[in-house]
Structure 1
Amino acid sequence: MTTRTPLIIDTDPGVDDAFALALAAASPEVDLLAVTTVFGNVPLSATTVNARRLLALLGREDVPVAAGADRPLVHPHPHRARYAHGSDGLSGRSDTLPEPTRALDPRDAVTLMTELLAAATAPVTIAAVGPLTNVALLLAAHPWAREKIGRLVIMGGAVGGGNVSAAAEFNIWSDPEAARRVLAEERLPTVLVPLDLTMRCAVDLDWLGRVEAAGPVGAALVGLTAEYQRHYAQSLGWPGLVLHDAVAVAEAVRPGILRTTRYPVDVDCTFGPGRGATVADRRRTEVNREYGVDQEQAVDFALDTDLDGLRQFVLDRLSTL
């Protein structure tokens, strides 16, 4: 019997988060232990309602949802992503989803993660596809938790340029101090899935049409994408959209589906134009060693994959819902 990987998804739904949750729900390789929510694309109250409604849509109300951080660790969040995700995070259509029957978990996100990690008998993967505030708080308050985490798979960052600014990707920029704590100070097996790859994994309207035709769940997911499609038609220059968070969850579900390169990394926490940038040190190891760069303080940047194979993998899984 194949052992399923225990998985916690920390998220700020968000259209691409909706597809990510659906992918996890459709993947028998993982045991979805919990969904924890964080501020980000929209305020925490909306991301939490969205997560609960999405799990109701997916028939996964057995999975607890706990609310986490409603703001960054240190500095105010400058603005949210309504320009891409709509006023409620789901193109203004959150209320078209089923109303959840399971109550919000009374524990906060960090407490729920802590208790699940303590009880776990196998290493747990945490897929963090929103700002990293909850994960930073978990690791700061409960350092023993590192021993129970098999991998962090994080959607965030960029090597070649950002989206919310010329340098920074939205999730990292939303709380750079938390991101720096997780990426540059912890020593955990970490896969960072940056814009450099997720933008290349964009899907077209034909792909969306096939998800929609697969059944009522697929149709409901595609029905959440109107605002997101309008945004990405401008960003991509052609009709389609980018499933950022689903690309990261694909790696959490099937390790190795993304090809990675290991780099030391830092996060710009200054207040200049580079705030929130992930700075990958791409110099040769021999050079870094000469300059005293800690090679152990590095993460695996997912920079390549079989693009058509990844799109087909996600499509096949969503078609089973």
Structure 2
Amino acid sequence: MRVIFDTDIGSDVDDALALAVLLGSPEVELIGCTTVYGDTLLRARLAKRLAGLAGRSPAVVPGAVRTLADRPVWWAGHEGALFTDLDSERVDDGDAAAYLVDEVTRAPGQVDVVAVGPLTNIANAVTASPSFARDVRHLWIMGGRFDGPEPEHNLKSDPEAAAIVFGSGAPITVTGLEITTTVRMDAADVAAIAAAGALGEALKAEVEQWWRSRNAEWNCPHDPIAVLTMLVPELFAFGPEGQVIIGADGSSTFEEATGRTRVTTSARTEPVAREIVRRIVNAAA
């Protein structure tokens, strides 16, 4: 599977864990990462550093700093703080949307895109090229909430972008908070990851930093779960295809109608948690 990972890595630790899941999956060729939302250069350098700790060097292209309507960017403040020399990381020149379009249209039907942040880069790619939505093999999105009106962070951060992406006609699988919050990672999981080399040690530090910011000793691996819907679909159930409608506040509702979007409806929580740890350990080792 040839995959591009679109991420706001550096805030919630789940992006870093999702990157590690991809790196630890032998069936995946991670051809590149694009970063979105806020200081995307810093995010790109962090992605490059973590991939390098696994002995990998995918293309990493910084993307959109601002949302489409220039909504305020939420910034946790600890992004990249565990590395004092991130400025030394060399990332790729160019524009993330152009990179996405080039890679997808160069190999129609062969590139999957996993998008786990605000959807600004993906919307820009859709707008820039009418062939992007047609040529992408599949979009795998972590976003939304489909059991109530409460908007989820990724979609409410840029609802204008989300509306463009879900209205594009691209084949999409979206996994919302009602699914991702059923799985937790705790100290035992982190200990297993930390024992697996330099990447594992770095991820342990990133997880514990996130825990301190929330005054908790567990986290929900939202983004790795969305990655697993692509890699191990038998661990999930999915609804019928239809349309996702995005509200002005970023709320998301599903309508069973003409469309190419399906929503993840359930997960086998214990096997999902074990698979996340197994693949991260594989990357770190």
Tell me what 1:201 maps to. Answer: 183
C-alpha change, 1:206 and 1:253, in structure 2 (3 Å) is same
> Aligned with 1:203: secondary structure?
coil
Q: Which stretches of structure 1, 4 residues or longer, exceed 4 Å deviation after superposition? A: 96-99, 231-234
Query: What is the one-letter code of the residue matched to 1:88?
Result: H
1:233 deviates by 5.1
The residue aligned with 1:297 is: 259
* One-letter code aligned to 1:45: L
Question: Pick from 263, 267, 276: which aligns with 2:250?
Answer: 276
Q: 1:142 to 1:193 in 2, by over 3 A?
A: same
Can you list the C-alpha shifts for 1:249-287, whole angstroms capped at 9, x where unaligned?
122333443321135321112xxxxx1111224xxx6xx
Find the aligned partners of 1:277 and 1:56 in 2 and give their Cα distance: 37
- State the match for 1:215 in structure 2: 197
User: 1:124 corresponds to which residue?
Assistant: 111
The normalised TM-score by structure 1 is: 0.81
Classify the secondary structure of the residue corresponding to 1:145: helix
Report if aligned partners of 1:186, 1:297 keep a CA contact under 8 Å in 2: no
Equivalent residue number for residue 10 of structure 1: 6
Does the 8 Å contact 1:124/1:151 carry over to 2? yes
Aligned residue for 2:84, secondary structure, equals helix
2:206 alignment partner, SS class: coil
Alignment of 1:60-99 (within 5 A): 60-61=56-57, 63-74=58-69, 76-82=70-76, 87-90=77-80, 92-95=81-84, 99=88
Deviation sequence 1:60-97 (CA, Å, 0-9, x none)? 11x111111111112x2334141xxxx1325x314377
Q: Name the aligned partner's letter for residue 187 of structure 2.
A: L
The structure 2 residue matched to 1:106, chosen from 75, 79, 93, is 93
With over 3 angstroms needed to count, the CA separation of the structure-2 counterparts of 1:232 and 1:302, relative to structure 1, is farther
**Please, which of 14, 24, 44 is the counterpart of residue 48 of structure 1?**
44
1:176 corresponds to 2:159: yes
Take 2:116 and 2:197, find their aligned partners in 1: how far apart are those partners? Answer: 26
Deviations 1:129-186 (A, max 9, x none): 111011111111111122321110001111235xxxx721111011000001111x12
User: Residues 219, 279 of structure 1: CA spacing in aligned structure 2 closer, same or farther, 3 A cutoff?
Assistant: same
Q: Distance in 1 between matches of 2:86 and 2:225?
A: 23
User: Could you tell me which amino acid in structure 1 is paired with residue 154 of structure 2?
Assistant: N
| Structure 1 unmatched runs, 5+ | 270-274, 286-294
The superposition leaves residues 6-28 of structure 1 with CA deviations (integer Å, 9 ceiling, x where unpaired) of: 10111110321111111111111
Equivalent of 1:245 in 208, 216, 223: 223
- Residues paired across the two proteins, number: 280
Name the amino acid aligned to 2:253: V
Go from structure 1 to structure 2 and tell me whether the alpha carbon gap of 1:155 and 1:94 turns closer, same or farther (over 3 Å shift): farther
> TM-score normalized by structure 2?
0.90
Larger Cα-atom Rg: 1
Would the alpha carbon gap of residues 150 and 121 (structure 1) be closer, same or farther in structure 2, given more than 3 Å must change? closer
Note the aligned Cα RMSD (angstroms): 2.1
Is 2:235 aligned against 1:257? yes
* Letter paired with 1:252: M
- Number of the residue aligned with 1:314: 276
1:167 is matched by which residue type in structure 2? Answer: E
8 A Cα contact 1:16 1:244, kept in partner: yes
Aligned pairs for 1:160-175 within 5 A: 160-161=147-148, 167-175=150-158
The Cα shift of 1:232 comes to: 4.9
Q: Which structure 2 residue ranges, 5 or more long, are not aligned?
A: none
In the alignment, the residues of structure 1 paired with residue 72 and residue 134 of structure 2 have an alpha-carbon distance, to the nearest angstrom, of 34
Shift of 1:319: 1.4
Q: Distance in 2 between matches of 1:147 and 1:79?
A: 30
Distance 2:243 2:99 in 1: 31
Q: CA offsets per residue over residues 97-119 of structure 1, 9 Å max, x none?
A: 7953xx32122111212221233
Q: Give yes or no for contact 1:155–1:194 (8 Å, CA) kept in 2.
A: yes
- Residues 97 and 206 from structure 1, CA distance in 2 versus in 1: closer, same or farther, beyond 3 angstroms? farther
